[in-house]
């Protein structure tokens, strides 16, 4: 028994001695987690999971915060993780153009170490969860709630703010330097932050910094968490779908339409949308199309412009956390108006070559098949592309001559010559 125990101990010592030096003692890191944009469920889950994963090997965790609002009730879980992390943690509202409103302000307030960049904007603390009642979080031990004057108002950071910001630093390097050697409490135990390590020649060097950010798919989805982008994607996607209907193209515009409507749909599903404003915007686009069908600019187009403008302004209306400025709304409506004025008009002229929508004159004309018509395809008639259909097995292949037998809407019924 003794010989067997001795053999196990010796084997263990040999195994440990064979490991690289870095494997015998876990490396320590500085972890920077980028938290930007409205705090939806995906961003909050990403932040919570990353904080928990890196805590075991992190000398210092820095949340780089730039967010106008929280839009998921998971924010309460983020408050808990930030207020009681497994490693020294600091929240920094930066860089200079960053903001922290609503639930994002609560993340800053509950952090053990609270920092901001000069020029950053903080405030508008209530509601913590957009679209919900103004409930305050538990807060940290020294200061349970945000300063009362910042629950509705905003301010630009120029120095420390009692009860909210302890230190002001312009960049991450300054933060790391200021925290080197500082003693903090982590879950009741004193921990000294060391941001450098000894080298073989007796000097010290900074420890490795790791940066954490959401993946490409999440970042793409988060494009539509801006109210202006979500609204614009919706109107643009619907407009491009109409363009594809008239253009009789090969599907490129349809793919763009599907992509933009999908991204807009994510934003609409997550943001606290005013549904009446959304319906008003879609109605305005419909009024544009109503006048466009008649190749005229009348009352419907003017009403459509007003409807889209009002719908944009109140699409998500919770100022100053989530709202759309009038100038943003005006730019969106202007872009849609220019799209109908130039792109759509050009397509109609190319297809019909006449100021009217009448198409009976096409019957009997000949054209060329651009794609196989089996039974649907695209043909070229008098320099314009048309969607075509053949009700019988005509065997029309690309390049074949066709004759127009009838017109149904904007679809040509064709036969082989």
- The domain ranges of the chain are 27-214, 218-346, 360-416
- The span from the CA of 263 to the CA of 261, in Å, is 6
Give residue-wise pLDDT tens across range 290-333.
888 776 667 888 999 999 999 999 999 877 888 888 999 999 99
Task: Please tell me the predicted confidence (pLDDT) of residue 245.
Answer: 78
- Please enumerate, as own/partner, the contacts of 189-193 that have beta carbons within 8 Å and a separation of 24 or more: 191/87, 191/88, 193/59, 193/60, 193/88
Which tokens sit at 45?
A: 């889950």
CA proximity to 128, closest of 149, 145, 111, 116 = 145
Task: Please tell me the predicted confidence (pLDDT) of residue 138.
Answer: 45
Q: Torsion angle, CA of 305/308/310/313, rounded to 10 degrees?
A: -130
Which tokens sit at 68?
A: 């106008």
pTM for this prediction = 0.74
Its CATH class, for the domain covering 27-214, is alpha beta
CA proximity to 314, closest of 328, 335, 304 = 328
Task: Please tell me the predicted confidence (pLDDT) of residue 250.
Answer: 58
Task: Please tell me the predicted confidence (pLDDT) of residue 145.
Answer: 62
Q: Backbone phi, then psi, for 293, in 5-degree steps?
A: -60, -25
* Residue 308 near residue 333, CB atoms below 8 Å: yes
Which of 2.40.50.140, 2.40.37.20, 2.10.60.10, 3.40.50.2300 is the CATH number of 360-416?
2.40.50.140
- The span from the CA of 82 to the CA of 15, in Å, is 38
Task: Please tell me the predicted confidence (pLDDT) of residue 280.
Answer: 96
Task: Please tell me the predicted confidence (pLDDT) of residue 351.
Answer: 59
Write out residues in the chain with pLDDT < 50, as ranges.
Answer: 1-2, 5-26, 134, 136, 138-144, 354-357
């Amino acid at each position: 028994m003794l010989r067997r125990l001795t053999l196990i101990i010796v084997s263990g010592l040999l195994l440990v001695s064979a490991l690289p030096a870095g494997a015998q003692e876990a490396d320590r890191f500085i972890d920077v987690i980028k938290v930007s944009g409205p705090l939806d469920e995906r961003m909050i889950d990403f932040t919570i999971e990353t904080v928990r994963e890196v805590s075991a090997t992190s000398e210092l965790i820095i949340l780089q915060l730039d967010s106008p609002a929280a839009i998921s009730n998971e924010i309460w879980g983020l408050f808990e993780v930030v207020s009681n992390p497994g490693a020294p943690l600091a929240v920094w509202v930066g860089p200079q153009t960053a903001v922290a409103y609503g639930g994002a302000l609560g993340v800053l307030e509950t952090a053990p170490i609270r920092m901001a960049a000069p020029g950053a904007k903080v405030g508008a603390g209530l509601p913590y969860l957009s679209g919900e009642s103004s409930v305050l979080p538990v807060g940290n031990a020294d200061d349970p709630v945000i300063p009362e004057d910042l629950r509705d108002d905003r301010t630009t950071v120029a120095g420390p703010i009692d009860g909210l910001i302890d230190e002001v630093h312009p960049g991450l390097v300054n933060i790391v330097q200021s925290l080197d050697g500082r003693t903090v409490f982590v879950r009741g135990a004193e921990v000294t932050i060391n941001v450098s390590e000894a080298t073989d020649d007796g000097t010290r060097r900074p420890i490795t910094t790791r940066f954490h950010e959401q993946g490409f798919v999440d970042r793409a989805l988060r494009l539509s968490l801006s109210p202006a982008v979500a609204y614009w994607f919706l109107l643009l996607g619907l407009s491009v779908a109409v363009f594809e209907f008239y253009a009789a193209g090969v599907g490129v515009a349809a793919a763009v339409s599907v992509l933009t409507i999908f991204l807009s749909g994510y934003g609409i599903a997550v943001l606290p949308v005013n549904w009446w404003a959304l319906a008003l915007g879609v109605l305005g686009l419909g009024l544009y199309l109503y006048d466009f069908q008649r190749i005229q600019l009348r009352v419907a187009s003017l009403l459509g412009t007003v409807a889209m403008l009002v719908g944009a302004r109140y699409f998500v209306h919770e100022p100053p956390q989530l709202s759309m400025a009038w100038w943003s709304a005006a730019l969106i409506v202007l872009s849609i108006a220019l799209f109908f004025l130039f792109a759509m008009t050009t397509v109609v002229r190319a297809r019909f070559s006449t100021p009217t929508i009448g198409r009976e004159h096409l019957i009997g004309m000949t054209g060329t098949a651009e794609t196989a018509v089996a039974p649907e395809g695209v043909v070229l008639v008098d320099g314009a592309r048309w969607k075509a259909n053949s009700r019988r097995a005509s065997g029309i292949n690309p390049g074949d001559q066709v004759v127009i037998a009838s017109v149904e809407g904007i679809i040509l019924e064709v036969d082989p010559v």
